[in-house]
Amino acid sequence: MGFLDINKATKAYGAVQVLHETNISVEEGEFLVLVGPSGCGKSTLLNMIAGLEDITTGEIAIRDRSMNGVKPADRNIAMVFQSYALYPNMTVKGNISFGMEMHGIAKAEREKRISQVADLLQITHLLDRKPGQLSGGQRQRVAMGRALVREPDVFLFDEPLSNLDAKLRVDMRTEIKKLHQKLGTTIVYVTHDQIEALTLSTRIAVMFGGYVQQLGTPKEIYDNPANMFVAGFMGSPSMNLFPAKVVSANGVPAAEVRLADGNAAMIPFASGRMNGNDGRDIILGIRPEAITDRDGADRNSDAVHIVDMPVEVTEPAGSDTFVVSQIGGKDVTGRFRADVAVNAGQRFPFAFNMEKAVAFDPQSEQRIA
């Protein structure tokens, strides 16, 4: 049993099933991120944990206590919303204090907690201001402070950074991670941003179509995606996915692929990979950082293979240059060093690190190797 247990939980609105049977166990102090596109069921699951949505079947328990039928106010959870949900007529101090007042916490204890949290979040100088006088990042800190003073069992974050500009989102991600490392709190965090998921979490639940597609650590999700949806959704740029056929080249299984100019290329798999799959059609998956220029390839890998391919597009990105070609009618992006002299229209040697390659079944879209 975990600190927060979601056991066979489902949610339906009449005949429409929006969350299928879901099983997740969250340990105390863990940072679980629910990530997926709009409509995948992640916010519905968060609202079920909060008590804002009833569970259709199954159970949600916190500290071995079933939350089924328990009112939100009696669950000892705190929620940070996308909209911040601050009272505009109250000061920052009043907003932070309000929940504690409703729970009958003595004034001296309230003042102590407000002081501690304001110092932690560096908002002491804002306590007498009202929300309308604050920036988006400051309002986000106040919303977090209001949750922290409650000292709840579980913190729930519902896309809290989506209203911030790009730089502030990065800054606030860092602040939330520091806060979690310092306090060791249990957090369930919803986002559609896979970079937030990878950088913040100790574990990720990737959701799509009302199902948990994969549950694992950021490294597991990134390096070993369970299916093509996870492979394509997680990572920026996302994993390259293109058709290939497994053939035997000198007794070694290789991926036969079709380049943009119509030529076929053979890319051998790493040792032992795809043995016994001769003639099988697959979808080959490989991350952009595993397709690079010859000198930028991993020198510790013995499975780097060079393929001359026509360059379609180059995209300078400061520290890297993204170079696009095509395989099997699909754009394939490599991450090259910034100073590599490569131009659209030329042929160029792409280095594939096949230790990092994965293979999927084209019909089921599940990973096979």
pLDDT tens-digit series, residues 144-162 = 889 888 888 999 999 988 8
Average pLDDT over residues 132-148: 88
Average pLDDT over residues 55-65: 96
Cα torsion 229, 234, 235, 239 to 10°: value is -20
pLDDT score for 323: 98
pLDDT score for 160: 87
pLDDT score for 127: 95
pLDDT score for 104: 87
Average pLDDT over residues 89-96: 94
Q: Tell me the pLDDT tens digit for each residue of 283-341.
A: 999 999 999 999 999 999 989 999 999 999 999 999 999 999 999 999 999 999 999 99
- Mean pLDDT for the chain? 93
- Which candidate, 30, 45, 146, places its Cα nearest to that of 91? 146
Residue 367 has pLDDT above 90, yes or no: yes
Lowest mean pLDDT among 77-86, 188-197, 200-209, 335-344: 77-86
For 137, 257, 282, 317, 357, the CA distances from 275, given in Å and listed in that order, are 53, 18, 13, 38, 14
Residue 45 has pLDDT above 80, yes or no: yes
pLDDT score for 92: 94
CA atoms 75, 77, 81, 86: torsion sign:
positive
Q: Please name the amino acid found at residue 196.
A: E
For 131, 132, 142, 179, the CA distances from 121, given in Å and listed in that order, are 16, 19, 8, 9
β partners of residue 350:
307
Q: Give the confidence band of 252 by pLDDT, cuts at 50, 70, 90.
A: confident
Instruction: Name the E strands within 70-143.
Output: 77-80
Degrees to nearest 5, angle at CA 215 with 214 and 220: 90
What percent of the chain is modeled with pLDDT above 90?
A: 77
> Averaging pLDDT over each range in 13-22, 128-137, 266-275, which range is the top one?
13-22
Degrees to nearest 5, angle at CA 299 with 295 and 303: 105
Q: Give the confidence band of 273 by pLDDT, cuts at 50, 70, 90.
A: confident
Residue 249 has pLDDT above 80, yes or no: no
pLDDT score for 197: 96
* Residue 333 near residue 324, CB atoms below 8 Å: yes
pLDDT score for 166: 85
* Residue 30 near residue 203, CB atoms below 8 Å: yes
